[in-house]
Amino acid sequence: MSAAINGKFKEIVGSDNFWDEPADLMCYSYDSAFEKPVPPDMVVKPSDYDQVQKVIQLCRDADIPLITRGAGTNLSGGTVPVSGGCVMLTTGLNKILEVNTEDLYAVTQSGVVTAKFAEHISDHGLLYPPDPGSMKMSTMGGNVAENAGGLRALKYGVTSDYLMGVKFFDMDGNLVIGGGRTVKLVTGYNLPGLMVSSEGMLGVMVELIMKIVPVPEAKKSMLVSFGDVIKASETVSKIIQAKILPATLELMDNFTIKTVEEATNIGLPVDADALLLIEVDGHPEAVEDEYRKVIDICESLGGSVKVAENEQERDALWEARRKSLSSLARLRPTLILEDATVPRSRIPEMMQAVQNIRKKYDLTIGTFGHAGDGNLHPTILTDKRDEQEMARVEKAIDEIFETALKLDGTISGEHGIGSAKAKYLESELGKGSLIFMDKLKKGLDPKGLLNPHKMGL
């Protein structure tokens, strides 16, 4: 990039918030997905809305691709600057602006880290439920742009269920305001809805209004081990058929159990073929009733139940689940995490299919995930330097997605499309939807500068 252009960026954000040395650019050439790294031409970190607007306008006028980046934890290649350009970090927009405990909402800047936001809400005696596994790093803006889910999604929903309002800049630098602070609001198009899952392709979000909720009075967590992973999967449907909606209903297969135990020594039953981690919450009497019913259902399907007796045991249980991905990641040089999702009644079929695919392609796959919402994470452990194995991995991934679609599911429950899943998008949505998305994108960003080529657009 020319010295003149770089000088203009530095004028906007200051020299301390501008980087173009090769070693710095390398750090922003990749994210948490398994995609080919491509370095940007420069990285900038604005610290207020005025700077964001000026960076956008400079990119528009100089035809520079603009990639908005929160923490770069996305798992779909959403922040890889595939045509170079300017990576704009949102982490300088890091203030929580308001918590309204009467009207139950909070206003936050988009670069605030999710866990920091949730802790702040908790300090006010309230709850922000979406809790992605990456919450200690991910940003609120990244959560909206990917519609992040979490362990509590089954009962409490995902990020979009909490987004009430948004402020964002379009590619001309216009400040767009959508939604607001009221529970009901039908003013104009649903612009917060438009920004959900927009993956940095339609605008740059700077401020969000998020719904917050009362903390449940009671909760009960349990760990249920099964001798047969298919029985564990069937148990998931049975619990929900019994009209019980646990806050959390997670599954780990035997490979994942053993790997997590090796890494953490938490005391997981390594001989179990599968584990369900279940938490019910709500009014104390309802919790008492529901947790007894859950135990009966689990035992009737061969499960052996251990209830967490105190906060320490409960924390250990959830720590085990949260450590699944990082524990698996220690085993081989390359980890590919998928998030094919099916209606939860089809979980046993999906589990069986993943097992068959693992055997057919002779791969190491650990499966864990949000079984209660049909969102499994088959995690392939491999080595990208082994071309033969990688060819088998690619075929296995194709089959995992084909199976999910055959079972009326989706290629992505929560990780988004980015570059990683672009080639599968048409098979789920059809050509008409892609044409519509392309028209929308071209209307808002005629030069195609905002996060170009993602979702195949």
Ligand X SMILES: Cc1cc2nc3c(=O)[nH]c(=O)nc-3n(C[C@H](O)[C@H](O)[C@H](O)COP(=O)(O)OP(=O)(O)OC[C@H]3O[C@@H](n4cnc5c(N)ncnc54)[C@H](O)[C@@H]3O)c2cc1C
Residue (198 or 234) nearer to ligand X, CB: 198
In the complex, what is the shortest distance from the CB of residue 296 to ligand X, in angstroms, rounded to a whole number?
Answer: 29
Residue (125 or 189) nearer to ligand X, CB: 189
Residue (135 or 297) nearer to ligand X, CB: 135
Which residues have CB under 8 Å from 335's CB, separation 6+?
Answer: 34, 325, 328, 329, 379, 380, 381, 382
CA atoms in the 13 A half-sphere facing the CB of 191: 22
Structural contact between residues 139 and 71, judged by C-beta atoms closer than 8 angstroms: yes
Write out the residues near ligand X by the rule CB under 6 A: 31-32, 67-75, 78-79, 90, 110, 132-134, 138-139, 141-143, 145-146, 148-150, 199-200, 204-205, 325, 414-415, 451
Q: How far apart are CA 142 and CA 72, in angstroms?
A: 8
Q: Could you tell me the two tokens for 175?
A: 């400040």
The DSSP code for 371 is G
Beta 86-89 vs 42-44: how paired, if at all? parallel
In the complex, what is the shortest distance from the CB of residue 77 to ligand X, in angstroms, rounded to a whole number?
Answer: 9
In the complex, what is the shortest distance from the CB of residue 90 to ligand X, in angstroms, rounded to a whole number?
Answer: 4
Nearest CA-CA partner of 77 in 123, 45, 31: 31
Residue (147 or 361) nearer to ligand X, CB: 147
In the complex, what is the shortest distance from the CB of residue 154 to ligand X, in angstroms, rounded to a whole number?
Answer: 13
In the complex, what is the shortest distance from the CB of residue 454 to ligand X, in angstroms, rounded to a whole number?
Answer: 6
Residue (5 or 194) nearer to ligand X, CB: 194
In the complex, what is the shortest distance from the CB of residue 159 to ligand X, in angstroms, rounded to a whole number?
Answer: 7
Sheet holding 66-69, edge to edge: 18-19, 42-44, 86-89, 66-69
Residue (138 or 254) nearer to ligand X, CB: 138
E-strand stretches of 60-174 = 66-69, 86-89, 96-100, 105-109, 126-127, 163-169
